[in-house]
Structure 1
């Protein structure tokens, strides 16, 4: 008897066993949405329905006599196959997923129920398989799983996925003495980008940053976007801090190149905190918290750097938290005070003006430097209010001094990016001048170089409006940031203030001195006046005087003092003209 005849006889036996005639069986099978395949006891296909043909792309004639596994894609795990046959042999049925391939080589996933109908003799036994194509459902599930564990903006693993990765790394490392490193990154002053360019452009910037960080990290650790402008990195099997330092250098290098956004070069920096397992914690929560402490320590120390966690940071963090909660009290409780530092006219040797600087007379800690609390004010949204308070107080004080006889005295007031970029900035400046009676020509607004570059076009428009009213504008900390001479030419400022490091660190004949001379020469060509900070010695004063600097400021003349002491100094300097 030929094989085909034998298969046909088995098929008829199966129909008889199911108590249906062939015609009724075929009618039922033909209208099923699920694919159906029946094999004989040797697993040779003897029957398939139209749904199976449609699902696989094969006709009945093409599959007849073949083992159903001929459509396997080879991606079903060996464990799953072993489990299927174990269930069929012991329970007579199995349900699960198999990965198959259609005739056109397209892969698909099928949800299968296979039943082994055992008969005596064995040749009368057969297998029935019901197959449903669940490819789309699997794709949807995989996509949902991906979205649940990945950041939709950058495609990086998200916070949930990162915490799972760390948890698994800790479990794997327990008992092995393995050390893990956790890096917590926060982009410095990223909020300014969103405020200046909008959140859409900020998102573009985050995508570029994530690409750079991934490229720097991929061979050394696992990176995630933790949230906002925060990223976290897991470094496994790291034995020494030096190994982590290599990765840290790669990260800083990746951000050193400016990002081009709306025709401008944006320079980004990051502050990083590092914690190690098990030295700094044995749980995910502890490690992340301590890396976060270290990151904020980096920000407090000036940003664009990294810090390793140590136990004292907890106390420091608690102190910072307490100070943050007392900022409103400082504003409302008259704990703030304006200090003043002289700005000397180099040619005449007389006081030209004063720079207004804020201090906090804390009831428990004494007088606090702005370096201790202004970063907290910025972080907590108070910087705008602090700047406005200083502006109003300084205008009133200088007007009073003018009325006492210091008629030509001017005042310089630093304004932070949040204040300068606010919609009400110009209104507040006008209000401060009107309330104090101070002439606009006697007020100089100092903006930082990097702040002006962050939103160049709007900064230029705002500066021009201030100048139109008569207010002077100074570009502070020039040379400390990244602006070019071309950009300096665009700024309609009156004064360039050379960063104090160039003078204070100069011996009079080094590169710093050459830079001071170059900036002064360029400023003169552009009809700008120059203020040099950092004058701490007679040699510093002679240096800037020789180079033709207009105004000088520094400890050589006076440290910042309160209004009463400043008034006494003004009187003394006017009388003696010792400079």
Structure 2
């Protein structure tokens, strides 16, 4: 039983050590573990044989020859080493397993019978051949099976491969024991045999216990090393798992960090783009993508510093589009935006790469020209800009035209900072507009004086109504042939305490430009209606009151509502209010003008065409307009009756008015001959200095009270 236990224990230790061969990380470590496995198994097999010999009971003392004993040990170790080596080859094919099993079985058998030969008896030991053969088969089958089991668990972890290792060790131990005791059963020791060994004799009991003790120590040490190594391997495996887990966590966190870094990069890039966009919007116009006022200031400051350093000159061109408001009102703001974008593109093509074009807002552009040699160079650029601005614009399949007015200021002649240069350019630009537009002007001191005067006049005009400096004067309209006053034309007059009498030719255009004309125009209509109602209440009858409309007033979509409100507020008879417009006012925007006239007619007021004959209206245009009065321009009346052309035109206008069934009024009548000619031509009404200049309401009231048929002013 001890021999079987040693065989099983030796096999388990050997198989356990063999498992370390597969797990070894170097060839040297694998060779060491393989040598330890072979030494454990070979020694265990050899020890099992000699301990098993103690179970043999003989009547004579037994001694063993030293040579065969040592040879049997070497055979057991060598065969074990070779078999385990074959078993651990990486290919793992079935023939290798069979070869390893055969070698192991042969080694066990050889070790047994060589060890038996160390027992020299006389007569000699004989063997039963069938039992010998049976012992060989037992060794081969059991060895192959044990090695097969060992291969299945080779390199497996201790926890999972332990049951199979125990099974393999048990099979191998039993195969060794089975082969040994079958071989012993095959041996026949003759009766009366004696031991004849003399040299190198080993006592059986001493040899058995020595072998057993050495084998046990060797196996115990090997097993201890195996267990310790397995423990360390398990710990290493656990640490490996932990490291793998930590590594996986690190990889996961690295992936998360990379993802976070990617998101952070995207956020940073998005923030950079946002900041770039904010910076772009802060320095560029959103509509045209041109530099705005802020960027212009930066470029202008740099350009002035360089120009001052190098003694150079630079120019600032302020460009304002003429009639842009008409495009906005007619085509809408979308069309106006497209126009501004096209204008910006055209101006850009007129400039050098180094020149700057900026949009200040609305329809104002600024061009900065650096390194200017002379004003003539600036004039060439300004002419190019004016030329491209005059080209037709096509928006929405509709073609229309605009022009530009340009003011030019030069550094350092006209100013040393941005404000002064822009102010001078603005002054020059308004001079270009005053001179008829579609032109450019350089700044000069005289222009500055004109602008200062204009700004002063505008300041005074804004408070003129509240201070009751504006008043209405009335020029009578006399009916022909009776000579009775049938109506008046209301005209504004401005008397300033410092400036004195300011003529309408000065303040009316300024009111148009500053949009004050809406306030003044509404006040004029309301005041005229109140005065007409007062005359009626004074018993002077119903007089027609004619009031001139400005271009801005006539373009106001709410004009008819304002007129209706004034009529209700003052109690004025709508048929007694006559609104005068010029030919150019309705010819520029005929469809819109026709709608406005229709709305006014629906309010009940009369419509008169002033200065008729100076415009370009045709008979087809006039016949489609619901007008009530035609006023012959004074330019034709002054030549009457001596100028045959003026006489012919006047007769034609009167005849046409009669055909259209409208009232015809001649203005600027200054002589009796003119009055007589117009009366002979069947003109309905006349007005002029022949009868009276425009006078205050009180003076006209006196004229109405004096006589129903006033005498000429020259006789008054």
SS of aligned partner of 1:204: helix
2:501 to 344, 367, 373: 367
TM-score, structure 2 as length reference: 0.51
Q: What pairs up with 1:122-521 in 2 under 5 angstroms?
A: 148-174=282-308, 178-188=312-322, 190-191=324-325, 193-194=327-328, 198-211=332-345, 213-214=347-348, 223-236=357-370, 244-245=378-379, 247-256=381-390, 268-298=402-432, 306-314=440-448, 316-327=450-461, 329-343=463-477, 351-378=485-512, 381-402=515-536, 407=541, 409-422=543-556, 424-452=558-586, 456-476=590-610, 488=622, 490-497=624-631
3-state SS, counterpart of residue 331 of structure 1: coil
Structure with bigger strand share is 1
Cα-to-partner distance string for 1:268-292 (whole Å, 9 max, x where unaligned): 4544433222221122332111111
Say how many residue pairs are matched. Answer: 457
Report the Cα distance in structure 2 between the residues aligned to 1:384 and 1:254, rounded to whole angstroms.
34
Aligned to 1:76: none
Pair 465,135 (structure 1): closer, same or farther in 2 beyond 3 Å: closer
**Does residue 575 in structure 1 map to residue 710 in structure 2?**
yes
| 1:217–1:251 contact (8 Å) kept in structure 2 | no
Q: Select the structure that is richer in helix.
A: 2
**Deviation (angstroms), 1:557:** 5.5
SS of equivalent to 1:281: coil
- Deviation per CA, 1:12-38: give whole Å up to 9, x if none: xxxxxxxxxxxxxxxx9xx99xxxxxx
Checking the alignment, whether the CA contact within 8 Å between 2:575 and 2:605 is kept in structure 1 is yes
In structure 2, the CA distance between the partners of 1:488 and 1:318, relative to structure 1 (3 Å rule), is: same
Native 8 Å contact 1:498 1:533 kept in 2: yes
The 5-angstrom pairing of residues 102-121 of structure 1 reads none
Backbone CA RMSD of aligned residues? 5.2
8 A Cα contact 1:349 1:577, kept in partner: no
Give runs of aligned pairs for residues 44-83 of structure 1, distance below 5 A. Answer: none
Contact map agreement 2:692 2:712 (CA 8 A) in 1:
no
Q: Do the aligned partners of 1:197 and 1:455 also contact (CA within 8 Å) in 2?
A: no
Q: Distance in 2 between matches of 1:393 and 1:295?
A: 36
TM-score calculated relative to the size of structure 1: 0.61
Does the Cα contact within 8 Å between 1:192 and 1:417 map onto a contact in 2? Answer: no
The answer as to whether partners of 1:508 and 1:543 remain within 8 angstroms in 2 is no
Indicate conservation of the 8 Å contact 2:638/2:668, yes or no. Answer: yes
Q: Larger deviation: 421-430 or 143-152?
A: 143-152
Query: Where does the alignment leave 5 or more consecutive residues of structure 2 unmatched?
Result: 1-250, 256-265
Of stretches 542-551 and 410-419 in structure 1, the one that deviates more from structure 2 is 542-551
Deviation at 1:450, TM superposition (A): 4.8
Alpha-carbon distance change, 261 to 494 in structure 1, aligned in 2, over 3 angstroms: farther
Spell out, residue by residue over 1:85-116, the C-alpha distance to the aligned partner (whole angstroms, 9 max, x if none).
xxxxxxxxxxxxxxxxxxxxxxxxxxxxxxxx
CA distance 1:415–1:335, change in 2 (3 Å): same
Give 1:235 deviation, angstroms.
4.5
Deviation at 1:490, TM superposition (A): 4.4
In 1: Cα distance, 2:565 partner to 2:347 partner: 46
- Deviation per CA, 1:381-411: give whole Å up to 9, x if none: 5432221211111122234445566546322
1:478–1:498: 8 Å Cα contact kept in structure 2?
A: yes
Work out which of the two has the higher radius of gyration on C-alpha atoms and give 1 or 2: 2
Report if aligned partners of 2:312, 2:372 keep a CA contact under 8 Å in 1.
yes
Conservation of the 8 A alpha-carbon contact between 1:508 and 1:539: no
8 Å Cα contact 1:507/1:513 also seen in 2: yes
Check whether the contact 1:226–1:232 (CA below 8 A) recurs between aligned residues: yes
